[in-house]
Amino acid sequence: MLADLLLRLKSVLFRGSVERDMDDELRFDLEQRIEAFRRTGLTEDEARRQAALAFGGVEQIKDDIRDSRGVGVIDDLQRDIQYAFRTLRRAPGFTLTAIVSLALGIGGTTAAFTLLDHVLLRPLPYPQPERLAGLYQTQFSRGYARLFLSWPNYQDWKRLNHTFAAMGAYGNMAANVSGHGEPRRVDGVAESDLFQVLGVRPRIGRALGADDEREAAPPVVVLSDGLSRSLFATPDDALGQIVRIDDQPYAIVGVMPPAFGFPAPTTQFWLPAHRQLMDYDDRSDIYLGVVGRLRAGASLGEAQADVTTIANQLEHAYPKDNPGTGAVVVDLRDVISPQSRMLVLAVFGAAFCLLLIACTNLASLLLGRSLARRRELAVRVAIGAGRARLVRQLVTEHAVLAFAGGIGGVGLAVLAIPLLAQLVPTALPVATAPRVDGRVLLFAALATVFTTLAIGVATAWRSTAATDAAALQQRAGGARVGRDRMRAALVLAEIVGTVTLLVGCGLLTRALWRVESVDPGFKPDGVLTLRTALPFNAYRGVSSRAPFYDRVLADVRSTPGVVSAAYTSWLPMVFGGGIFPATRAGEATDPRSAVLTSIRFVSRDYFATLGIPVTRGRDLSDGDASGAPFVTVISESLARRLWPGEDPIGRTINIAFADRTVVGVVRDIAVRGFERPSEPQVYAPEQQMRDNLLLFHIPKDLAIKARDDAAALALAPAVTKILHAVAPDQPVSDVQLLSHIMETQTTARRTQVDVLGLFAAVAFLLAAIGIHGMLSFAASTRKQEVGVRLAIGATRADILSMFLRQGLVLGVLGTAMGAPLAYALGRMLSGLLFGVSPADGAVYLAAMAIALVMTISGSLHPAMEAARLNPVSTMRAD
Partner 1 sequence: MSDRMDLPQGTLDLLILKTLALEPHHGWGISERLAQMSSATFDIRQGSLYPALHRLERRAWIKARWQTTEHNRRAKYYELTRKGRAELNTQTDAWKKLAAAIGQVLEAV
Binders of partner 1 in range 189-228 (CB under 8 A) = none
Residues within window 244-263 making contact with partner 1, judged by CB under 8 A: none
Shortest approach of partner 1 to residue 67 CB, angstroms?
7
Amino acid at 378: A
Residues 4, 236, 590, 878: which binds partner 1 (CB under 8 A)? 4
Min CB(71)–partner 1 separation in Å: 10
d(CA 708, CA 559): 15
Query: Between 54 and 877, whose beta carbon lies closer to partner 1?
Result: 54
Residues 310/89, Cβ–Cβ less than 8 Å = no
Site for partner 1 in 62-81 (CB under 8 A): 64-65, 67-70
CB of 357 to partner 1, least distance (A): 47
- For residues 254 and 231, give the distance between their C-alpha atoms in angstroms, rounded to a whole number: 14
The residue among 33 and 38 lying less far from partner 1, judged by its C-beta, is 33
Contact indicator for 494, 850 with CB cutoff of 8 Å: no
- Exposed, middle or buried: residue 519 (CB in 10 Å: 0-12, 13-18, 19+)? exposed
Q: Is 866 buried (19+), middle (13-18) or exposed (0-12) by CB count in 10 A?
A: buried
**Closest CB to partner 1 among 61 and 407?**
61
For position 537 contacting partner 1 by CB under 8 A, the verdict is: no
Residue 872 CB, nearest approach to partner 1 (Å): 50
432 touches partner 1 by CB under 8 A: no
Contact 831, 783 (CB under 8 A): no
Smallest separation (angstroms) from partner 1 to the CB of 64: 4
What does the alpha-carbon distance between residue 89 and residue 83 come to, in Å, rounded to a whole number?
A: 10
- CA pair distance 533, 695, nearest whole angstrom: 11
Q: Report the residue number, 12 or 846, with the smaller CB distance to partner 1.
A: 12
Minimum distance of partner 1 from residue 386's CB (angstroms) = 15
Query: Please, which residue, 10 or 672, has the CB nearer to partner 1?
Result: 10
Query: Least distance to partner 1 from the beta carbon of 2, Å?
Result: 9
Q: Which of 701, 707, 712 is nearest to 737 (CA)?
A: 712
Q: How far is the CB of 38 from partner 1 (least distance, A)?
A: 14
Q: Which is nearer to partner 1, 7 or 817 (CB)?
A: 7
If the CB atoms of residues 70 and 219 are measured against partner 1, the closer one turns out to be 70
* Site size with partner 1, rule: CB under 8 A: 25
- For partner 1, the closer of residues 10 and 514 by Cβ is 10
Residue burial 334-366, b: 16+ Cβ < 10 Å; e: rest: ebbeeebbebbbbbbbbbbbbbbbbbbbbbbbb
Using the minimum distance from each CB to partner 1, give the nearer residue, 54 or 554.
Answer: 54
Between residues 74 and 472, which has the closer beta carbon with respect to partner 1?
74
SS (H, E, C) 453-480: HHHHHHHHHHHHHCCCHHHHHCCCCCCC
Furthest CA-CA distance within the chain: 137
Going by C-alpha positions, the residue among 621, 392, 510 that lies closest to residue 844 is 510
Whichever of 27 and 676 has its CB closer to partner 1, that residue is 27
Side-chain-side CA neighbours of residue 327 (13 Å): 31
Rounded to the nearest whole angstrom, what is the least distance from the CB of residue 26 to partner 1 in the complex? 7
Pairing of strands 132-139, 288-294: antiparallel
Q: Where does 235-331 have alpha helices with state H?
A: 300-317
For the CB of residue 25, give the shortest distance to partner 1 in the complex, in Å.
5
Q: Within positions 14 to 33, which residues make up the interface with partner 1, using CB under 8 A? A: 21, 24-26, 28-29, 31-33
Site for partner 1 in 31-60 (CB under 8 A): 31-33, 36, 55-57, 60
d(CA 207, CA 440): 33
The site map against partner 1 for 393-412 (x = CB under 8 A) is --------------------
In the complex, what is the shortest distance from the CB of residue 33 to partner 1, in angstroms, rounded to a whole number?
Answer: 7
Name which of 3 and 588 has its Cβ closer to partner 1. 3
**Are β-strands 248-255 and 220-223 bridged in parallel, bridged antiparallel, or unpaired?**
parallel
Q: What is the DSSP letter of 534?
A: -
Query: Within a 10 A sphere around the Cβ of 661, how many other Cβ atoms?
Result: 14
61 touches partner 1 by CB under 8 A: yes
Taking the complex as a whole, the smallest distance from the CB of residue 766 to partner 1 amounts, in Å, to 48
The region, left, alpha or beta by phi > 0 then psi within -120 to 50, assigned to residue 765 is alpha
Nearer Cβ to partner 1, position 35 or 587? 35
Amino acid at 356: L
State the minimum distance, in angstroms, from the CB of residue 76 to partner 1. Answer: 16
What residue ranges bind partner 1 (CB under 8 A)?
Answer: 3-4, 7-8, 21, 24-26, 28-29, 31-33, 36, 55-57, 60-61, 64-65, 67-70
